[in-house]
Amino acid sequence: MMKPDIEFEQRARARQMQLTKPPGALGRLEDIACWFAARQRREIPLALVPAITVFAGDHGVTAEGVSAFPSAVTGEMVKNFARGGAAINVLARTIDARLTVVDAGVHDCVDDVPGIVHGKVRAGTANLAREAAMTRDEAQRAIALGRAQARADIAAGASLLIAGDMGIGNTTASACLICLLADADAEAVVGNGTGIDAAGRARKIDVVRRALTRVAHRQWQDGSDCLAELGGLEIGAMAGYYLEAAAAGVPALLDGFISTASALVAQKIEPAVTDWLIASHLSFENGHRIALQKLGLSPLIDLQMRLGEGSGAAVAVPILQAALRLHAEMATFAEAGVSEKHD
């Protein structure tokens, strides 16, 4: 696991004090520049090269009626990603990011979909309300899949990694993981997902409680056993993606609820992973704030988004790029001949 270098953060902070603005007037943009300085090991960090990978997987828990959409939508959306028609395709073009789609565990066969990574660990999880979502071996293979994809994105030149999710039912699995790993109650964590009504949400809370009761006496060894019991294949891959980012010393920008649940799994496996994570947006989904707090992160924006796919992260990328350009390109007081603050 790489460590950020605080000396570069301090040098960046000193530079911020010399730029032609009142100290602190750029608010969190100043903090962003200094955060990247420590991680790129440069007083003036380079512009970010973002890569987005969407991991797709299905969830046996949909048998409990926890989603407003049928499971078939996961595979249908994989085809939509491949054709360029989904929200994340548009946003990837907007921020000039490389976009990869990985089948980590879609129920339906998507073998004939061109241009995606075919990494299916199994055809959807089992119903976590009744049994383990997957085996420990499958959980580890899902993590390894995400790790390999992070290596591929870094090898292709990415300096900012974004993982997105697609998986009907995955807010239920994520809610289970957040309750378990952030020690929170289902009532506070479960939201409306893709748009279930109040009765659906009550059913979903009940499902999460049954799953948590089922594993209540487990002795957890690390995050991969939590993942096996309560997670998802795309969630495991995303956790692996974050772990590899941290291992390689490349920052990862979190997305929303599913992404943050995945990051909690990664944190359980390796606590120092959070040194390399930055939060993008606050999801409208209940419980996202709780998960971010457990990671020690504050979101940059709150636009009431709840789509997943990496969309909230992609919307925040221009803020990061703006912060770095301001840091790099603004004149100093001395360069511009501008008077400094009174003593």
3, 83, 118, 218: which one binds a copy of itself (CB under 8 A): 83
44 versus 215: smaller Cβ distance to a copy of itself = 44
Between CA 158 and CA 162 the distance in angstroms is 10
103 versus 244: smaller Cβ distance to a copy of itself = 103
Three-class SS state of 34: helix
Active-site residue, 309 included? yes
DSSP 216: T
Residues linked to residue 100 through DSSP beta bridges, in sequence order: 53
65's tokens: 């009626």
Annotate each residue in 56-75 with x if it binds a copy of itself (CB under 8 A) or - if it does not, as one string.
------------xxx-xx--
223's tokens: 């995050």
Q: How far is the CB of 292 from a copy of itself (least distance, A)?
A: 15
219 versus 339: smaller Cβ distance to a copy of itself = 339
Q: Which residue has the tokens 């078939």?
A: 72
Q: Which of 311, 242, 317 is nearest to 86 (CA)?
A: 311
- Cβ(63)–Cβ(29) under 8 Å? no
> Could you tell me how many residues of this chain bind a copy of itself (CB under 8 A)?
61
269 versus 300: smaller Cβ distance to a copy of itself = 300
Annotate each residue in 233-272 with x if it binds a copy of itself (CB under 8 A) or - if it does not, as one string.
----------------------------------------
Under the binding rule (CB under 8 A), the answer on residue 319 touching a copy of itself is yes
177's tokens: 């993981």
Q: ∠ at Cα 9 (4, 12), nearest 5°?
A: 145
Q: How far is the CB of 335 from a copy of itself (least distance, A)?
A: 7
- The residue count of the chain comes to 343
Three-class SS state of 305: coil
Annotate each residue in 88-127 with x if it binds a copy of itself (CB under 8 A) or - if it does not, as one string.
-xxx-xx---------------------------------
Q: How far is the CB of 4 from a copy of itself (least distance, A)?
A: 22
Three-class SS state of 332: strand
Under the binding rule (CB under 8 A), the answer on residue 21 touching a copy of itself is yes
Rg of the chain, C-alpha, whole Å: 20
Question: Which of positions 287-316 make contact with a copy of itself (CB under 8 A)?
Answer: 300-307, 311, 314-315
229 versus 285: smaller Cβ distance to a copy of itself = 285
